[in-house]
Amino acid sequence: MTARTVLIATSNPGKLRDFAGAAAAYAITIAGIPGFSSLPPVVEDGTTFEANARKKAEAYSLAAPGELVLADDSGLEIDALGGAPGIHSARYAAEEPHAAESNTDDEANNARVLRELGNVPHEDRAARFVCVIAVAKDGRTLQTFRGTAEGVILEAPRGQHGFGYDPLFYFPQIGKTFAELSAEEKAQYSHRGAAFRMFLSWYQQQA
């Protein structure tokens, strides 16, 4: 591995695209951990985004000795739903999201959000994406970085890009949903892009 490659602990192609988009301007290569799919999954039973990110980064960094490994935990917080789906964002369509052992389908998750918001008016559909990135080496967290993006949940999905709740997440600053942006555009505005830029600033100081 060169000094300009960063390993990401995820098998989610959408997350890898997001990180690659954020790293493009910095001449840094994003790569998954070799053999990641064969590693035992980490149980995400933390009560915060940071706890889950740290747990994943520390566990997966043991599979890449001596390397910096990034893991993130992220999700959508909707004010009208008391901050839900929150840390259960990827499993929200499950009957008991907190007990689900695997992620549920993006479309099903989006459908549940729309169903629960029901007749909530546009002005009361404020939401934010939150991302916490943890960077670890040899089983120890070195630093964490938190990024957010404030937006509004639409009444129907828009856009063909992105993943997760991106088609519902309208970003007033640019008048588009995150699913209407390229990976590079999304990196400029997204919670993951914000957290990753904080990591990059830290990373460049380590060199």
CA torsion sign for 127, 189, 155, 164 is negative
Give residue 23's identity as a one-letter amino acid code: A
Structure tokens at 163: 């993943």
Residue 29: other Cβ atoms inside 10 A: 14
3-class secondary-structure state, position 117: helix
Structure tokens at 101: 């052992």
- Least Cα distance to 6 among 27, 24, 31, 26 occurs for 31
* C-alpha–C-alpha distance, residues 123 and 152, integer Å: 8
Backbone φ, ψ for residue 33 (5° rounding): -70, 130
* C-alpha–C-alpha distance, residues 112 and 107, integer Å: 9
Are 6 and 22 in contact by the 8 Å Cβ rule? The answer is: no
Residue 73 is a catalytic residue: yes
Q: Which of 18, 72, 73, 166 is catalytic?
A: 73
Query: Looking at the annotation, which residues are catalytic?
Result: 73
